A and B are shown apart, each in its own frame.
Chain A
Amino acid sequence: MKLLELRDLAASVDEKQILNGIDLTVNAGEVHAIMGPNGSGKSTLSNVLAGRDGYTVTNGEMELIGTPVNGMSVEDRALAGLFLGFQHPIEIPGVTNMEFLKVAIDSHLIASGEEEMNTRDFMVQVRDISKRLELSTEFLKRFVNVGFSGGEKKRNEILQLMLLQPRLAFLDETDSGLDVDALQVVARGINEFRSDENGVVLVTHYQRLLNYVNVDFVHIMVNGAIVKTGDAQLAHEVEAQGYAGLGEA
Chain B
Amino acid sequence: MVVAQAGGTFTKIPIPSRQHFMSDQSPSAAHDFIGKEYAAGFVTDIEQETIPPGLDETVITEISKRKNEPSWLLEWRLNAYRRWLEMAEPTWAKVDFESVDYQAISYFSAPSGDKPKSLDEVDPELLRTYEKLGIPLHERELLAGVERDPDAPRIAVDAVFDSVSLVTTFQEELREHGVIFCSFSEAVENHPDLVRKYLGTVVPQSDNFFAALNSAVFSDGSFVYIPKGVRCPMELSTIFRINAQFTGQFERTLIIADEGSYVSYLEGCTAPMRDENQLHAAVVELVALEDASIKYSTVQNWYPGDEDGKGGIYNFVTKRGVCRGNRSHISWTQVETGSAITWKYPSVILRGDNSVGEFYSVAITNNRQQADTGSKMTHIGRNTSSTIISKGISAGKSSNAYRGRVRMNPGATQARNFTQCDSLLIGGQCAAHTFPTIESQRDDAIVEHEATTSKVSEDQLFLCRQRGIDAEKAVAMIVNGFCKEVLRELPMEFAVEASKLLEVSLEGAVG
Contact = CB atoms under 8 A, between A and B. Distances in A.
Interface string B433-465: 000000000000000000000100111101111
B478 A92 contact: yes
Contacts of A104: 464, 467-469
A93 interface: yes
B482 interface: yes
Contacts of B463: 86, 89-90, 92
A73 B458 CA distance: 14
Interface string B467-503: 1111101000110111110000000000000000000
A90 B457 contact: yes
Best-buried of A74, A100, A143 by chain B (most CB within 10 Å) = A74
Chain B interface SS verdict (over half): helix
Nearest to B29: A53
Nearest to B471: A75
Contact of B481 (A92, A111, A160): A92
Contact of B468 (A52, A91, A99, A111): A111
Interface string A89-128: 1111111100110011001100100000000000000000
A54 interface: yes
B466 interface: yes
B462 A74 contact: yes
Contact of B469 (A83, A93, A107): A107
Given A90-B459, A92-B460, A107-B473, A78 B481 contact: no
Contacts, number: 75
A52 B460 CA distance: 12
Nearest to B452: A93
B481 A94 contact: yes
Given A92-B478, A94-B481, A73 B465 contact: yes
Contacts of A94: 478, 480-484
Interface in B5-47: 28-29
A119 B28 CA distance: 39
Contacts of B482: 93-94
Contacts of A164: 467-468
A187 interface: no
Contacts of B457: 90
B470 A107 contact: yes
Given A54-B28, A92-B460, A78 B467 contact: yes
**Most chain B CB within a 10 A radius of its CB, from A78, A84, A95, A160:** A95
Contacts of A89: 463
A79 interface: yes
Most chain B beta carbons < 10 A, residue from A53, A73, A83, A164: A53
B456 to A, nearest CB: 9
A164 B466 CA distance: 11
A104 to B, nearest CB: 4
B460 A78 contact: no
A62 to B, nearest CB: 16
Interface in A56-89: 73-75, 78-79, 83-84, 86, 89
Nearest to A99: B477
A50 B471 CA distance: 15
Interface string B41-65: 0000000000000000000000000
Contacts of A53: 28-29, 458, 462
A52 B29 CA distance: 12
A93 B481 contact: yes
Interface in A149-183: 160, 164
Given A86-B463, A103-B477, A93 B454 contact: yes
Contacts of B466: 50, 74-75, 78, 83-84
A91 B477 CA distance: 13
A120 B118 CA distance: 45
A160 B467 contact: yes
A87 to B, nearest CB: 12
A143 B28 contact: no
Interface in B90-132: none
Contacts of B473: 103, 107
B111 to A, nearest CB: 43
Interface of B: 28-29, 454, 457-460, 462-471, 473, 477-478, 480-484
Interface of A: 50, 52-54, 73-75, 78-79, 83-84, 86, 89-96, 99-100, 103-104, 107-108, 111, 143, 160, 164
Closest 5 CB pairs of A and B: A94-B481, A74-B465, A107-B468, A95-B481, A104-B467
30 contacts: A50-B462, A53-B28, A73-B465, A74-B465, A78-B466, A78-B468, A79-B468, A83-B466, A86-B463, A90-B463, A91-B460, A92-B460, A92-B478, A93-B482, A94-B478, A94-B480, A94-B481, A94-B483, A95-B477, A95-B481, A96-B481, A100-B464, A103-B469, A103-B473, A104-B467, A104-B469, A107-B468, A108-B468, A111-B468, A164-B467
Given A92-B478, A107-B469, 10 more contacts: A53-B28, A53-B458, A74-B465, A79-B468, A84-B466, A91-B460, A92-B460, A93-B481, A94-B478, A100-B477
